[in-house]
Amino acid sequence: MTTFHHPARHAACALVAAALAWPAAQAASPAASSCPDYFFLSDNLALNPGFETPTAGTAAGAQVCWQAGDPPFPSSAAADWQMHSSNGSATVCSRLVHSSVPGPGGAKMLEFKAGSNEGGVYRNQALDPRRADMFSVWVKVRSGQVAIQSRSVTGGPVAWTSKTGEWEQLRVCTNSLIDTNQLVIFNQAAGGGTFYVDRVELREIPIRE
């Protein structure tokens, strides 16, 4: 079991296939995760999904870093996204750079550098627990391995990268038994890592019985 660390809270997550919501999907690519066939019931509900808007007071292209002893609630370089670190409070850094994501991306993407495992970005996104949601992210890993999840505690679905040096879409889906309460994108390699992220989507989908 893995525990996220940031100044205000500790939240546990499972990074094993047994934690996925629909076990039948475990044989698929890790990037495919546990999403069934679906169609969307909502527009994109994610805030600053293309990382186009910088955090207030952050200069364009400036690197924002956090380490133990710095003020709490470390904002990333992108508005509406916070940074989190490892239990050992390894330094984490982020900045907005020119985007190279395939498809209809904007001008910018988020570059993230994690000093250890669990370093990444997140935002609290509490939704009606009776609904089902799809959380999707495009990720390009330079080093390490990246995972995403849409719940801050053990038991929610997780998807992780299987490639290095090329873009990969990760997605996870919840059902009426597992709700969405936090969007999390993080490096899970113990030695740290660097990755790019863009094109976040959060949409309601039909509930799978």
The confidence band for 86, taking pLDDT boundaries of 50, 70 and 90, is: confident
Q: What is the mean pLDDT of residues 186-194?
A: 94
User: What is the SS3 assignment for the chain?
Assistant: CEEEEECCEEEEECCCHHHCCCHHHHHCCCCCCCCCCCCCCCCCCCCCCCCCCECCCCCCCCCEEECCCCCCCCECCECCCEEEECCCCCCEEEEEEECCCCCCCCCEEEEEEECCCCCEEEEECCCCCCCEEEEEEEEEEEECCEEEECCCCCCCCEEECCCCCCEEEEEEECECCECCCEEEEEECCCCCEEEEEEEEEEEEECCCC
Q: Is the pLDDT of residue 101 over 90?
A: yes
Q: What does pTM read for this prediction?
A: 0.82
Q: What is the mean pLDDT of residues 96-119?
A: 94
The confidence band for 140, taking pLDDT boundaries of 50, 70 and 90, is: very high
Split into its structural domains, the chain has a count of 1
**Can you give the CATH number for the domain in which 179 is found?**
2.60.120.260
The confidence band for 122, taking pLDDT boundaries of 50, 70 and 90, is: very high
The confidence band for 50, taking pLDDT boundaries of 50, 70 and 90, is: very high
Q: Is the pLDDT of residue 134 over 50?
A: yes
The confidence band for 34, taking pLDDT boundaries of 50, 70 and 90, is: low
Full domain range(s) for residue 22: 2-205
pLDDT of 38: 80
